[in-house]
Amino acid sequence: MTAPAPALSVEGLRVAVGPPGRGRAVVGDVAFAIPPGGRLAIVGESGSGKSMTALAVAGLLPRGARQTAGQIALGGRIVDPAGPGMARIRGREIAMIFQDPMSALNPVMTVGAQLVEAIRAHSAMSPRAARARAAEMLAAVQIPRPAERLDAWPHEFSGGMRQRVMIAMALTHRPKLLIADEPTTALDVTTQLQILRLIDGLCREEGSALMLITHDLGIVEGFCDSVVVLYGGRMMEAGPVAAVLGRPRHPYTRGLMATIPPLDRDVDWLDPIPGEPVATPAADAPGCPFAPRCGLAEARCRTVTPAWRPAGSKVAASCHLLAPSPAGGGLS
Amino acid sequence: MPSSGAVTGGRGALVTAPALAVEGLTVGYGRAAPVLQSVTLTLPQGETLGLVGESGSGKTTLARAVVGLVAPTAGSIRVFGADIAALDRAGRALLRRRVQMVFQDPYTSLDPTMTVGEAVAEPLVVHGLGGRAERAAWVDELMRLVGLDASIAARFPAELSGGQRQRVAIARALAPAPALVICDEPVSALDVSVQAQILNLLKRLQRELGLSLLFVSHDLSVVRFLAQRIAVIEGGRIVEDGPRVAVLDRPQHPYTRALIEAARLRARPAGG
């Protein structure tokens, strides 16, 4: 029996910015797969390449950035996200929601008109039927009095309501993959939880796979089943959420856990990672991008890029110290 | 008669006066519902009070009222025992020196045309503290205190990282030797690995300098790390107020429980 093709598979993804030939890689050798209905988190700080990875998959890279290597497949079919066929795929097979729902909505169109446009972009539905469907969608994202709200303008909605509209729009055509790039970062904390539960519930109902971009490990723990940890445009560690967060192998993942204040107990001091993330990394430079901030770094960490290797059941990581070193020791 | 000397705080002040005592504070604009309604809060000297709420809760208005940037409709604010509405001119000048603020966004709170050294020294110049040589020595000392290399004093804010800028903003706030520091979401714009550095710094400074800290935040895990007491504000009212552990481990108000549940999204996962 063969396993069903993954909803999304990414192999050897590389994204560069700047002029061709003289560009700098901001994402290097990123690879992962999401099974149908699976929920993957991509975690990282500023400059980790997490948003660039998401935009590359959706074929929405900003001007000046381009995919220079790698293969992206949707449901087992290889696609070219930058190619002309992507417009038919985006919105129907892949949908994306962003951090700021105000700038993603058109301020001079009513909410209903935007939903109708999204529905009719990929179906031959009549305007009247599309409007009825739009009201159903607003109801599905738990907006009260949905039929009346179709005539509202985006500025009449709160941030949380706007994000609900974006979710409704994204899930219109039951995509196989929903990409959510920091969908709750701009919202109030109690609204964040409601929106994440809504995304989670609707993805389960529709059977959509979820690729969630976040910097919050608590969100990863609560809403995803596997996780990719990025730093400086490269993969540090990946695996099932329970394994990676329960027993982080990579010094960066460990450092990230220790740096966050716990909610359920008192600690006198936090264990910060020294220094700050580099805003514009060179993901193709030799060595480990985390080496300058890593307390365990050795000479080879700065000169030799560590291989991606298994680091436990279903977990893999990129760190020299995970392999038995000539001096003995190692982390695992 | 209001005594301006009482605002001094620190060693010279009466130990019995809280750093901050807000009583029945109401702030309203026109006919709209008041932004703050009968808010009562106490911050004992040398402690940290965490004020937790979401946007629109009135937490920033409260912080601004304490530094006299917002006029109350009713109620009183006492800083080290002195009613800030009854201060004379000298008292108000002293208040502006002894109460300092650190803001959320270190990108907009620093003047881009001033070097770091000028920005940190500016409050000293404004308050007429020290001569040129003394100010330069104090700026060096402040830079060391917040963990910045003295060479950074010659740079401009645009050349610094987010964490470095927030350290500069803290050094600038500490320059006139305040006794009460109000921090309004000082780490929410920073990456998590940098946030921990600033939180440790604030805790260390609070202890070493005996500062009283009003720490305004939406994040209960951050507040748990820093504060002895927590006040929860919703819709301009304090809905719960008490010692840190009691509020977090035995919350009484449903809104506090909702905030705790939401804070798990940000907090260290259970595995860690």
pLDDT exceeding 90 applies to what percent of chain A?
77
* Cross-chain residue pair B224–A262, CB shorter than 8 Å: yes
Check if A24 contacts B (Cβ < 8 Å): no
Which residue in B has a C-alpha nearest to residue A244's C-alpha? B271
Looking at the predicted structure, is the pLDDT value of residue A327 above 60? Answer: no
A293 CA to centre of own chain? 24
User: CB of A54 within 8 A of CB of A98?
Assistant: no
In degrees, to the nearest 5, what angle opens at C-alpha A166 toward C-alphas A160 and A169? Answer: 145
Looking at the predicted structure, is the pLDDT value of residue B12 above 70? Answer: no
Averaged pLDDT, B97-112 = 87
Half-sphere exposure of B192 (CA within 13 A, CB side): 26
Q: What is the pLDDT of residue A1?
A: 57
At residue A18 the predicted structure's pLDDT band, cuts being 50, 70 and 90, is: confident
Q: What ipTM was reported for this prediction?
A: 0.88
Query: Mean pLDDT, chain B, as a whole number?
Result: 90
* Cross-chain residue pair A263–B265, CB shorter than 8 Å: no
Looking at the predicted structure, is the pLDDT value of residue B1 above 70? Answer: no
Check if A62 contacts B (Cβ < 8 Å): no
pLDDT exceeding 70 applies to what percent of chain B?
94
Q: Report the residue from A220, A255, A272 with minimal CB separation from B200.
A: A272
Per the model's pLDDT, the better-predicted residue between A185 and A328 turns out to be A185
A231's tokens: 């730093």
**What CA–CA distance (Å, rounded) separates B52 from B191?**
20
Check if A218 contacts B (Cβ < 8 Å): yes
* Cross-chain residue pair A260–B203, CB shorter than 8 Å: no
Averaged pLDDT, B1-27 = 68
- The helix or strand, by DSSP H or E, that contains position B60, with its residue range, turns out to be helix B59-66
Q: Report the residue from B192, B222, B225 with minimal CB separation from A256.
A: B192
Which residue in A has a C-alpha nearest to residue B148's C-alpha? A275
Query: Mean pLDDT, chain A, as a whole number?
Result: 91
Q: What is the pLDDT of residue A222?
A: 95
Check if A222 contacts B (Cβ < 8 Å): yes
At residue B3 the predicted structure's pLDDT band, cuts being 50, 70 and 90, is: very low
Residue B146 dihedral angles phi and psi, to the nearest 5°: -95, 10
Looking at the predicted structure, is the pLDDT value of residue A91 above 90? Answer: no
Q: What is the pLDDT of residue B258?
A: 95
Give B195's contacts in chain A (Cβ within 8 Å).
259
A 10 A CB-CB count for A291 gives: 20
Alpha carbon of B41 to those of A315, B84, B242: distances in Å?
A: 49, 15, 10
Q: Report the residue from A189, A193, A277 with minimal CB separation from B191.
A: A277
Q: What is the pLDDT of residue A324?
A: 57
The pLDDT tens digits of the residues spanning A191-228 come to: 999 999 999 999 999 999 999 999 999 999 999 999 99
Q: What is the pLDDT of residue A254?
A: 95
Q: Pairing state of beta strands A177-181 and A94-97?
A: parallel
Q: What is the pLDDT of residue B69?
A: 86
At residue B31 the predicted structure's pLDDT band, cuts being 50, 70 and 90, is: confident
**What CA–CA distance (Å, rounded) separates A105 from A167?**
12
Tell me the whole-structure pTM to 2 decimals.
0.90
The pLDDT tens digits of the residues spanning A230-268 come to: 999 999 999 999 999 999 999 999 999 999 999 999 999
The pLDDT tens digits of the residues spanning B38-53 come to: 999 999 999 999 999 9
At residue A326 the predicted structure's pLDDT band, cuts being 50, 70 and 90, is: very low
A246's tokens: 């329960």
At residue B271 the predicted structure's pLDDT band, cuts being 50, 70 and 90, is: low
Check if A270 contacts B (Cβ < 8 Å): yes
The pLDDT tens digits of the residues spanning B257-266 come to: 999 999 999 8
Q: What is the pLDDT of residue B88?
A: 93
Looking at the predicted structure, is the pLDDT value of residue A33 above 50? Answer: yes
Q: Residues of A numbered 119-158 whose beta carbons fall under 8 angstroms of chain B's beta carbons: which are they?
A: none
Looking at the predicted structure, is the pLDDT value of residue B4 above 50? Answer: no
The pLDDT tens digits of the residues spanning A7-16 come to: 999 999 999 9
At residue A74 the predicted structure's pLDDT band, cuts being 50, 70 and 90, is: very high
Averaged pLDDT, B234-257 = 96
The pLDDT tens digits of the residues spanning A278-324 come to: 766 687 889 999 999 999 999 999 999 999 999 988 999 999 999 65
Give A218's contacts in chain B (Cβ within 8 Å).
264-269
Which residue in A has a C-alpha nearest to residue B162's C-alpha? A276
Check if A259 contacts B (Cβ < 8 Å): yes
* HEC string for chain A: CCCCCCCEEEEEEEEEECCCCCCEEEEEEEEEEECCCCEEEEECCCCCCHHHHHHHHHCCCCCCEEEEEEEEEECCEEECCCCCCHHHHECCCEEEECCCHHHHCCCCCCHHHHHHHHHHHCCCCCHHHHHHHHHHHHHHCCCCCHHHHCCCCHHHCCHHHHHHHHHHHHCCCCCCEEEEECCCCCCCHHHHHHHHHHHHHHHHHHCCEEEEEECCHHHHHHHCCEEEEEECCEEEEEEEHHHHHHCCCCHHHHHHHHHCCCCCCCCCCCCCCCCCCCCCCCCCCCCCCCHHHCCCCCHHHHHCCCCCEECCCCCEECCHHHCCCCCCCCCC
Q: Report the residue from B191, B193, B199 with minimal CB separation from A261.
A: B199
